[in-house]
Amino acid sequence: MIRRRFTAQLLAGPPARDPLSVVRRLLAVQGQDARGFRLALRARTVGLTAGDVERALSEDRSLVVTWLNRGTLHLIASEDYAWLHALTTPPLASANARRLAQEGVSPSAAARAVAVIERSLADEGPLTRLQLRDRIAGAGVRTEGQALVHLLLLATLEGLAVRGPMVGRQHAYVLVRDWLGEPRGAVTRESALAELARRYLAGHAPADDRDLAKWAGLPLRDARAGLEAIASELEARPDGLVSLVGSPPAEPMPSPRLLGPYDPVLMGWRSREAILGAHEPKIVRGGLFGPFALVGGRAAAAWSLTDGRAVLEPFGRMARADRAALEADAEDVVRFLALPTPRDRSPRRR
């Protein structure tokens, strides 16, 4: 099972050609950590740089970041925005309204803020979070605490804005209609659920209905409806999990590599036991997912970037060949991110 999942995730077997190919396979990559989603794309490609991701966001407009699924920011293909937004965001509205009330923002003030966001983006083009904060505050709407993020969330839930291009080091917001154009045609909910199930399995199989429901943030009945809609395309397994008929065969275990925070291989199923095992508390803390090293299909170390170098924290003894492979991959992380480095860029060990 785990080898099939690594293959579906593009961590085993042939790498993807470009950022868009990765995102198309995975459908949605958790995106609240900007470096994290870039590193997720690095781990599934060869020879690309973070600049290639920036170009996909800013020039090609092939990728965007917006709130979807479980109410979390996700990196998606622009071509998938319309149906994913329509399918997965309605359940988020009530919780967002409650949070705005808790932050002291009335419904009328929230509506005023959304109008300011829409007008500002229409008149001034891409604007960063801080620029939008100033314009919202100028209209007399509270932006302190978590109010700003939930006002921006409201604008995205209403289908007005997404995070599109990079402006310097900041990810700027744009109007959906200006950046992506008008949607080509409405997709029925039934068709969207079927596409969700099909695309989820392409990047996560084998899995089951509960895995899909958790990943998408939808009720179990919706996950089951999606899978039932594509029943003729499914291959059932003795363990109760399903895959798409004709899915690529399982490749050998991935070579040792460094994965970033919130890597998709940890986010797509109900359980992370097969990868993290007893080390889960070292990687997942308070709902935050840290970077880790994958060796033999298991988490073998935590790591961080310090002074332009990868600092490894092994969980135990590591074979010399695995350590050497991780050191080489650490160099590739530095190359990919184009970090300023000292002369000796080899990973330091604690």
Split at pLDDT 50, 70, 90, the class of 187 is confident
Quote the pLDDT of residue 95: 95
| Spatial separation of the C-alpha atoms in residues 141 and 221, rounded to whole Å | 39
Q: Is 262 inside any structural domain?
A: yes
Q: Residue 292 is inside which H or E element, if any?
A: strand 292-295
DSSP state of 233: G
Q: Which two tokens stand for residue 129?
A: 């979070």
Q: Note the pLDDT of residue 339.
A: 78
Task: pLDDT band for 182, please (50, 70, 90 cuts).
Answer: confident
Q: Are residues 166 and 291 in the same domain?
A: no
Would you say residue 307 lies in a domain?
yes
Model confidence band, residue 71 (pLDDT cutoffs 50, 70, 90): very high
Whether 219 maps to a domain, the answer reads no
Average pLDDT over residues 49-62: 97
Q: Could you tell me what percent of the chain has a pLDDT over 90?
A: 91
**SS3 state of residue 298:** strand
- In terms of pLDDT, which residue wins out, 203 or 308? 203
Whether the bond between 238 and the residue before it is cis, its omega within 30 degrees of 0, is: no
Instruction: Identify the domain boundary among 135, 158, 179.
Output: 179
Mark whether 149 and 15 lie in a shared domain.
yes
Assigned domain for 190 exists: no
Question: Residue 123 carries which side chain, given as an amino acid letter?
Answer: D
Same domain as 273, residue 169: no
Q: Which of 148, 179, 210 is the last residue of a domain?
A: 179
In 83-193 the beta strands, taken as DSSP E runs, fall at 161-167, 170-175
Q: Is the pLDDT of residue 342 over 70?
A: no
Report the chain's mean pLDDT, rounded to a whole number.
95
Residue 41 vs residue 186, higher pLDDT: 41
- Of 221, 196, 197, 203, nearest in space to 268 by CA: 203
Residue 350: the pLDDT is: 47
User: 344 falls in which pLDDT band (50, 70, 90)?
Assistant: very low
Q: Which domain holds residue 299?
A: 257-349
Number of domains in the chain: 2
216 within domain boundaries: no
- pLDDT tens digits along 155-180: 999 999 999 999 988 999 999 999 99
Query: What average pLDDT does range 51-61 have in this prediction?
Result: 97
> Global pTM?
0.94
> What pLDDT is attached to residue 79?
96
Judging by beta carbons within 10 Å of its beta carbon (0-12, 13-18, 19+), is residue 182 exposed, middle or buried? exposed
Is the domain of 138 the same as that of 267?
A: no
pLDDT digits (tens, 9 = 90+) for 296-314: 999 999 999 988 888 999 9
Average pLDDT over residues 3-10: 97
Q: Are residues 39 and 138 in the same domain?
A: yes
Domain presence at residue 237 = no
Among 114, 148, 179, the domain boundary falls at 179
Residues 171, 270 within the same domain? no
pLDDT at position 343:
52
DSSP string for residues in 6-21: HHHTTSSSSPBSSHHH
Q: Are residues 148 and 55 in the same domain?
A: yes
Q: Are residues 270 and 155 in the same domain?
A: no
- Calpha distance 68→199 (Å, rounded): 15
Average pLDDT over residues 322-330: 96
Taking the CA atoms of residue 137, residue 85, residue 266 and residue 36 in that order, the dihedral angle to the nearest 10 degrees is: -40
Task: Compute the distance between CA of residue 252 and CA of residue 41 in angstroms, rounded to an integer.
Answer: 20
